[in-house]
């Protein structure tokens, strides 16, 4: 892992702040001064210090869960049963990366790594999220033509998306950002309401490869999601 990434993941310093610390000769690896934040480190052997204080690797967890219908992606009991209730182990600061609606099923990622959550959610990183969509009516060519035009939600133009595997009233859609009721609002534009929604993939991570039943989960690594 790069030194600057390790520091930003395990401290409150950003990469820009880390560069400044390095320029000020405040960062060492095994007590040797560092001059380049892009240097690769060995997490098992190297000792990283800032101002002579050792920076320890945080105990982050990453969990893939196949969300059942009727669960919400929050800690609030007011909204309904939380997906966090499905995780048997206790992890501090565990949260979902983004949300699926209560009536939406499929893949979600839970973690206690705030930096990773920010990376996945940031629209500028264009992390692919693929959904299976069932519509009230067959999806017609004229609907596709309309959706290929610029679309505005909440007064802002949304990023382009991909529609594929069209089969009557069923299709797949790939998003590169996430907005409130994003998919439902897209198909409302062509007067074809969504009746069922299931997320099957987040970047590299796919339900097809996880073999998870509804309500089940497994621990994963960042490399299962991103090319690192």
Domains of the chain, start order:
3-54 (3.10.290.10), 62-123+205-224 (3.30.70.580), 128-202 (3.30.70.1560)
> CB–CB of 19/34 below 8 Å?
no
Which backbone phi and psi does 150 adopt, to 5 degrees?
A: -60, 135
Q: What is the DSSP-derived secondary structure letter of residue 57?
A: P
Structure tokens at 100: 């699926």
Sign of CA dihedral 103, 109, 115, 120: negative
Active site residues: 101
Query: What distance in Å separates the CA atoms of residue 187 and residue 194, rounded to the nearest whole number?
Result: 7
The residue count for the chain: 228
pLDDT of 8: 83
pTM: 0.75
Residue 186 near residue 139 (C-beta atoms within 8 A): no
- When pLDDT is averaged across residues 19-25 and rounded to a whole number, the result is 95
Quote the pLDDT of residue 77.
65
Report yes or no: 96 and 108 within 8 Å, Cβ to Cβ.
Answer: yes
Decide: 179 and 154 in contact? Cβ < 8 Å.
yes
For 181-196, what is each residue's pLDDT tens digit?
A: 999 999 999 999 999 9
Sheet holding 53-54, edge to edge: 32-33, 27-29, 48-50, 53-54
Q: What average pLDDT score do residues 98-123 get?
A: 93
Percent helix, percent strand, percent coil in the chain, to nearest 5: 25, 30, 45
Q: Which residue has the tokens 């097809």?
A: 208
pLDDT of residue 29: 96
Q: What is the pLDDT of residue 79?
A: 72
* Phi, psi dihedral angles at 146 (to 5 degrees): -70, -40
């Amino acid at each position: 892992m790069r030194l600057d990434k390790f520091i930003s993941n395990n401290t409150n310093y950003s990469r820009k702040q880390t560069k400044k610390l390095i320029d000020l000769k405040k960062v060492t690896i095994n007590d040797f001064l560092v001059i380049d934040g892009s240097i690769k480190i060995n997490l098992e052997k190297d000792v990283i210090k800032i101002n002579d204080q050792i920076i320890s690797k945080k105990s982050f967890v990453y969990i893939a869960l196949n969300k059942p219908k009727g669960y919400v992606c929050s800690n609030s009991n007011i909204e309904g049963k939380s997906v966090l209730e499905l995780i048997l182990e206790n992890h501090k600061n565990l949260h979902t990366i983004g949300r699926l609606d209560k009536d939406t099923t499929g893949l979600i990622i839970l973690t206690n790594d705030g930096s990773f959550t920010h990376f996945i959610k940031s629209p500028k990183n264009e992390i692919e999220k693929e959904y299976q969509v069932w519509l009230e009516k067959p999806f017609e060519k004229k609907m596709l033509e309309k959706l290929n035009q610029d679309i505005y939600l909440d007064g802002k133009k949304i990023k382009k998306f991909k529609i594929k595997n069209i089969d009557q009233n069923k299709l797949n859609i790939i998003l590169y950002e996430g907005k409130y009721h994003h998919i439902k609002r897209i198909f409302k534009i062509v007067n074809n309401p969504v009746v069922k929604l299931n997320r099957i993939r987040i970047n590299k991570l796919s339900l097809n490869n996880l073999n998870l039943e509804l309500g089940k989960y497994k621990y994963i690594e960042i490399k299962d999601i991103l090319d690192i």
